[in-house]
Each structure stands twice: as structure tokens, then as C-alpha cells.
Chains A and B, each alone.
Chain A
Amino acid sequence: MARLIVYFAHPGHKYSQVNCAMSRVAREVDGVTYVDLYGDYPRFDINVDIEQQRLLDHDVVLFQFPLFWYSTPSILKEWQDIVLEHGFAYGAGGDKLAGKTMMLAITAAGPEEAYSTGGYQRYPLREFLRPLEQTANLCSMRFPPPYVLYSALKAPSAGEVEPHVEGYERLLRSIRDDRYDWAVGDADTVHGYASLPIRKES
């Protein structure tokens, strides 16, 4: 049993369609710790000690958020800035996160083809996630391919919400039960609900 913590960050969650449903699932899956960052810290006064203890208590850290300006919502950046301390996450004596896993579950408004060299976002999605990837790397954490939903704003009309949310639930359960195959995919891979590398229950 992997100890899994989900950090949810969405400042305007009442306008959210996909992320809200996803976070409901995350809250309900047994054996998964769920943190609503904007709910816990509405005034951004993040408690570093509590957060570091949470990291120590878990093996897999999963950040769930909508992509804002090719990055995380601001509170998640604040969280990184002050929780991933020198001497804790990296640097001298900073080996507390070594061997753990950092994974992302993100929704992007643009369609899949926009996130390519010829598309209007000009780069593949993974390129925009390199800062987080390198953050994990500096903390000696594994950074497996993220779980992604493209065209998130059009997902309700396209009937994409339900399968994505259901896929999210499978993802969380399989991580919890050590049935998720971290080894599938490389530095350019992203997973959708149809391609999750989950092993069958034995």
C-alpha cells in the first residue's frame, strides 16, 4: 500500500467542472489523504511544519490543478517556495523526499494538437511542466508522466468529464494498491484516461 496524498489547488473551483468532480473523487477514495490548498490556506499562510510532516508521511505526492499561464495556480507555487526548504527537500541534509514520487493530474483548456511544435501553444505540454519535473529531480523524487485532460472547457459537451473522472479514480486506487506501473512512458509522455498503465488486480 503506497501512502498517497492529493493536493488540490483551484482558486475558482465553483466555476470548475472537471476539477471539482475530480477532487470529490479524491476526497472519497479510502486510504488517500486529500488537501484542498485554497481551503486550508485561504490567506496563503501555509504552515510549513504541517506540510513537511505530510510529505514525510506519504510516498506519492499528487498535485491536481488546472494549468494557469502554463504553470500552477499561485498557491501551489507559494507552497513549493516555502515547503520545499533547503535542508529538507534538497541541499545539505535535504534528503527527506528522496525516493518518493511527485505526480501531476492537470487539466488544460487547449486541445491536444495546440500543444505541439506546430500548434498555437507552440510546445508540447511536457515542455511547460519542465520546472516541476526539475523540482522533483532536485528533490530526488520520481516524476512519472502526468495524467492530463486536454480541451477541459469543452469536456462537458464532449462527454469527456465522466471518463476522465472515472479514470482519475482508477489512478488513485491503483497507486494506493501498488498496481500503477511507474515505468511506462518517458520524459515526453502524458497519460489520458485511456492509456493509464494499471496492472490488473491479482
Chain B
Amino acid sequence: MDGFLLLAFLFLIAGVIAVPIASRLGLGSVLGYLLAGIAIAPILDLLHVDVVSIQHFAEFGVVMMLFLVGLELEPRMLWAMRDRLLGLGGLQVGVTAALIMGIAMLLGQSWSIALAIGLVFSLSSTAIVLQTLNEKGLMKSDGGQSSFAVLLSQDIAVIPMLAFIPLLALPELQEIAAATHAAADDGHASLSLVDRLNGWQRALVTVAAIAFVVIVGSYLTRPIFRFIAVARLRELFTATALLLVIAIALLMVVVGLSPALGTFLAGVVLANSEYRHELESNIDPFKGLLLGVFFITVGAAIEFDLLLNNLGEMLGLTFGLIALKALVLYGLGRVFRIGGADRWLFSLGLAQAGEFGFVLLSFSVASSVIPPALAERLLLVVALSMLLTPLLFIVYEKWITRLFAESQDREPDEIDETGKVIIAGHGRFGGIVNRILLSAGFKTVVLDYQSEQLDMLRAFGVKVFFGDAMRPDLLHAAGIEEARMLVIAIDDRESATELVHYVTESYPHVYIVARAVDRHHVYELWSAGCRDIIRDTFDSSVRAGRSALEALGVHPYDAERQVRGFVINDGKQMFALASSYDPDIPAHENEEYVRRTREYLDRQAEAMQGNAAAFATRLDRGWVPPTAEDVDAETSKASDDG
């Protein structure tokens, strides 16, 4: 227990100190974590901490990340990416592996070792690249999308690689392995149920597992989440979300598939679910923390002795690897017509080796494909290349984007999320707002936390998400950063005011339309910073008044102008009172407020007694025919001027 606390403290303090500094210096959080890892490496060493086993544990962060990526990606979008997944991704892995294999053979390695090295180095770091792209808001750009496609096909490619690498086993290494550790079974293999099955049985189990994930995701999650939602316990939802991800990962391990791929698939299946944002906001903190630990362990695992003793060789190999991978990527970018700065983002961003490299290397050693001494050096190259990645992103940001900003002649990136409106509360009020916005072609994200309501809406084909808009993380998951507008249509007045407060403070670019339950609530919302406030019964009351006037025989157009005048005057009064309202002073102690209210009430009384002038508006003005005198006056003025 003490050891655990100490370890947790070490990791957390290193991250908490290093990441903000790195972010402030514009280096990004990934480099911050890596540096934190390097900093605490000596202490970990002293404590005899098994960094590699922590790393294996933290790799689960990558699994969660792919689940989250899947959530963002609807099946339709995945299908639209198929060319890039197969073509761009497949070629990247194939060409890079082949070139590296050739170079390794030139450097004197046997063909089987060279091939294994090629496969290991052909992969890039999903963790670093996706994290950085998201952080820098580059995910939606052409370069970001292409990078994502390649990373995804690499994750898929890992599966056949894991099956293929044991076939490259060297007889002499196998003998040593058999002699030394017959007992040391590989962790992955111990869980696997499919080892003893033959080819077609294995294929059958794999297909069944994937089908199981798709079916569970499509049909079972909704009733389960609805069941959980009824309990109205936040932590239960978090637990369920974690359970879902872990269960899928476990299933994938059991049938010998990549857990990252399995959870990604589950994410895609759930991308259309109303629980998507809730899942996102629940999993996201875990993912962030685990990835942080993962990056720290990468930093901590760098063996500086080995590096310093072979500085030239190691740096040469690392830079050579980065240059070669970048070159291949650049060439593919050309072939696949990724334009301008995006091609550079694509080439530099994916030029490192990745965390799957670690996995494949340890697997290769265990499968007697690569001798341990060589693997140690290769591990260092992988780690160094990952360490250098944030620097490559900085190169991209500082120089490449500037270079292309000057000669910008390409098409702007397709922005698929502009004008997004978040609607909090989809009851009688928010529902109408949503329908109007949708029919005008705007994209909306609707949040509501009454699951009975959600079921009904889904039956009518409305796209809504389960969740409490009061939670910052859920607002974040719903995309408040990129949203143009937030419509607050929730019933609870305090919550509405609080939400206005939070959003005007944290996201001043978001325009807020808020629903007020009464006049006082208007003032509260006003002082919270909202400037577009709609009283929820005001317009209907005005219409009822107009209907009454018409029924009493007032000409419809006169009735219309009468209530327009009323609305304008009421609005003016409201504005004047709102400016003098102070939430910190009780209304009855606020002298100016009391005075203005009294004035308003007087005027209202006057109007009710039929004194029409009190509500006179410019709408009563109109055409007055000119007389001969008017015309004479104008004519003489004109001749004076002339």
C-alpha cells in the first residue's frame, strides 16, 4: 500500500509539474510527460520499480483512446475512409517495412531479423500522434484525417504481425529460450483460448467475437444504460462505461485480437447512441491519466547508459529512422494528393516508431526472433523517436505552417462541424428550438437527463444525448469549445443561471440563448452574463392577449400593433430594470431598482386605465399627406440650397 502511494505520488507530481510547464512553453503535454518520466527515472531505478509492467498496464490508455476515437467516428465516416485505410495505410506499412528490412540487411542482419525490425519500425505512435493532433486542433484537417487513417490501419496490421512474427523464429535463439525459461509463459498467451484451435476455427471465433461486440453495442447497451440511468448515480454510470471497455478488451484478448481494435469497433457502434457524450466524458479522464502514465514510463524507460555509450550510433539510427519514415510518408502523401502543409503534418507527425513497437519487440524476443541485446537497442530507438515527435510537431507549427501561410493556394479544409448548437434540455421548450434549428439545416447536439424523455424522442428520430448539461466535462464532450451557440432550455432556474455563469466565463465565444421562468429570473440571467433571454410564457401570453383583443372585435392589424407596442415597451422596461438589478443586493434594498419598478407599475396602471399614450409607440405613426404649404416649404428650401 505504501509503495503504491509513493509510486502514485511520484507519477502524479512529476506530471503535475512538468506538463503545465511544457504546455506553457508550447511543447505540448506529451513532451511534458516524457520529460517527467526522464526526470523520475533515477528514483524509479532506486526503488526497483518495474517500469515495463507499469507500461503494459498504462497501455490500456491507448485502448481507451481508440474507444473514444471510435465514438467520434460514425460507421458511415469509417466506410468513407476505406480508400485511405487500405491504400494509404497499407502502403505505408508495406513500403516502410520493406525499406527498413533492406537497410537492416545491408547493415548485416539476417533476413528474418531484418524483416521483424522492419515490421516493428513501420508502426507509428497512436498515443502520441492522436493526443497531439487533438490538443492542437488538427484532427479535422486533411493531414490529421490521413494520419488517423494510417494509424488505424497500423493498429489493424498489428494483428497479422503478431501471428506472423513467430514464424521468423531463429533455431539457435529458440534453443536458448527453451533451455532458459521454459516456465516463463507470455502474459498474452496465457489468456488466449484460441491457441489450440486450427485456422478455420480461429477465424470463426474471431468473426463471432466481432459480431458479438457489434450486436451488444447496437442492441444491448441502450437497455443497460437506461437501467443504470434510472438509479441516477453518477459513479454507477462511470463504472458501467469502464466495465464496457474492459469487457470488450478482455474478450478481444481471449480470442487473440487487438483490444485496441475491439474497443475502437465498439466505439464506432456506439457513435450513434444517445449515451455517446456521457460515455465520452466518463472514459476521458481515465484515458488521460493512463496515457500520462504511459508517456512517463516511455520517458523513464530510456536507458541513458546505453544511449551515452553509443551516442553516435543511437542518434544516427533514430534520425535515420525518422528521416526514412518521413520520406516514405511524404511520397505517399504526394501520391494520395494530400496538399501543402497537410502533407508535412502527415509526414512529420507519423515519422516516429510507436508503442506497438514495444509490444512487438518484447513479443519478438519472446518468440526468439530477435536477440535480446539487439532488442534493447531497438527499444531505445523507438523511445528516442517518440521523444523527438513533439519536436517535429513544433517544427511543423513554427516553420511549415508559416511557410504555407504565405503561399496559400489550396482549398480550405472541409469543416464539418461549423455552426454547431448545443441545446440543453429537450422538453417542450428546447424541443421546439431544436426542430426549428434542424429544419433550417443547422447541426444541433441535444442534452437531456431524463431517459424516459429520450426514449420517446428517439422513437421520433430526434438525435439526443443523455446527460446533465450542468457538468463541465459533458459540455466539453458535447463540443462546447467549437460550438457557436448554447440554448439553455432546462427547467431548473438556479441551474440555468449557473450554466450561463459558467459558459460566459469559460467560453466567451459561445452565444447563449436562455429560457427564463419569470421576470426575476431574467434579471438573474442578465447579471450572469446572458444577453438573449426569452421568458418561457411571455410570447404565448402576448398571443393570448392578441387573440382576446381580436375576439373583442378589435381589427386584427390594430390588435397586432397594440401587442407589438406592449412587447416593445415591456422589453425596454425589462432592460432598464435588468441594468439596475444586482444579484448581491436584495431587490427591496436596491433603491434604483425599486424606483424603476414603481415607475413601471405606474405606467402599467395608466395604460390599463385606457391612457393609450402611455404605450404609444412609433407604430402609431404613419403616412400624413403633404399639403401645398409643405410642398412650398420644400421647394423654397431646395432653391435656397441651389
A residues sitting closer than 8 Å to B (CB atoms) are: 11-14, 36, 38-40, 42-43, 66-69, 73, 108-110, 114, 120-121, 153
Contacts and interface: CB of A to CB of B under 8 A. Distances in A.
Contacts of B626: 109-110, 120
Nearest to A153: B625
B532 to A, nearest CB: 22
B625 A109 contact: yes
Given A42-B556, A42-B557, 13 more contacts: A13-B555, A14-B555, A39-B556, A39-B557, A42-B559, A69-B623, A73-B623, A110-B626, A114-B628, A120-B628, A120-B631, A121-B631, A153-B625
Interface residues of B, number: 13
B555 to A, nearest CB: 6
A67 B625 CA distance: 9
Nearest to B621: A12
A38 B556 CA distance: 7
B562 to A, nearest CB: 10
A42 B628 contact: no
A121 B623 CA distance: 16
B553 to A, nearest CB: 12
- In this complex, the member of B557, B626, B631 whose beta carbon has the largest number of chain A beta carbons within 10 angstroms is B557
Nearest to A119: B628
Nearest to B630: A120
B557 A38 contact: yes
B558 A14 contact: yes
Interface string B602-629: 0000000000000000000011011010
Nearest to A152: B625
Contacts of A42: 556-557, 559-560
Interface in B286-333: none
Main secondary structure of the interface of A (DSSP, over half): loop
A110 B630 CA distance: 12
B623 A43 contact: no
B554 to A, nearest CB: 10
A73 B557 CA distance: 13
Given A114-B628, A120-B631, A121-B631, A11 B556 contact: no
A7 B625 CA distance: 22
Contacts of A66: 623
28 contacts: A11-B557, A11-B622, A13-B555, A14-B555, A14-B558, A36-B555, A38-B556, A38-B557, A39-B555, A39-B556, A40-B556, A42-B556, A42-B557, A43-B560, A67-B625, A68-B623, A69-B623, A73-B623, A109-B625, A109-B626, A110-B625, A110-B626, A120-B626, A120-B628, A120-B631, A120-B632, A121-B631, A153-B625
A131 to B, nearest CB: 17
A123 to B, nearest CB: 13
Nearest to A37: B557
Interface in B554-573: 555-560
Nearest to B635: A120
Interface in B135-185: none
A109 B632 CA distance: 16
B556 to A, nearest CB: 4
A189 B187 CA distance: 105
- In this complex, the member of B625, B628, B632 whose beta carbon has the largest number of chain A beta carbons within 10 angstroms is B625
Contacts of A73: 623
A121 B631 CA distance: 8
Contacts of B632: 120
Contacts of B556: 38-40, 42
Contacts of B623: 66, 68-69, 73
Nearest to B629: A120
Contact of A38 (B555, B625, B628, B631): B555
A73 B625 CA distance: 13
Given A42-B560, A121-B631, A12 B622 contact: yes
B633 to A, nearest CB: 11
B563 to A, nearest CB: 10
A110 B559 CA distance: 30
Interface string B533-559: 000000000000000000000011111
Contacts of A40: 556
Nearest to A69: B623
A36 B550 CA distance: 14
Nearest to A120: B631
A13 B557 CA distance: 10
B561 to A, nearest CB: 8
A39 B549 CA distance: 13
A110 B555 CA distance: 28
Nearest to A43: B560
B622 to A, nearest CB: 6
A68 B626 CA distance: 10
Contacts of B559: 42
A90 B572 CA distance: 46
B627 to A, nearest CB: 8
Contacts of A13: 555
A11 B556 CA distance: 10
A35 B479 CA distance: 52
Contacts of B625: 67, 108-110, 153
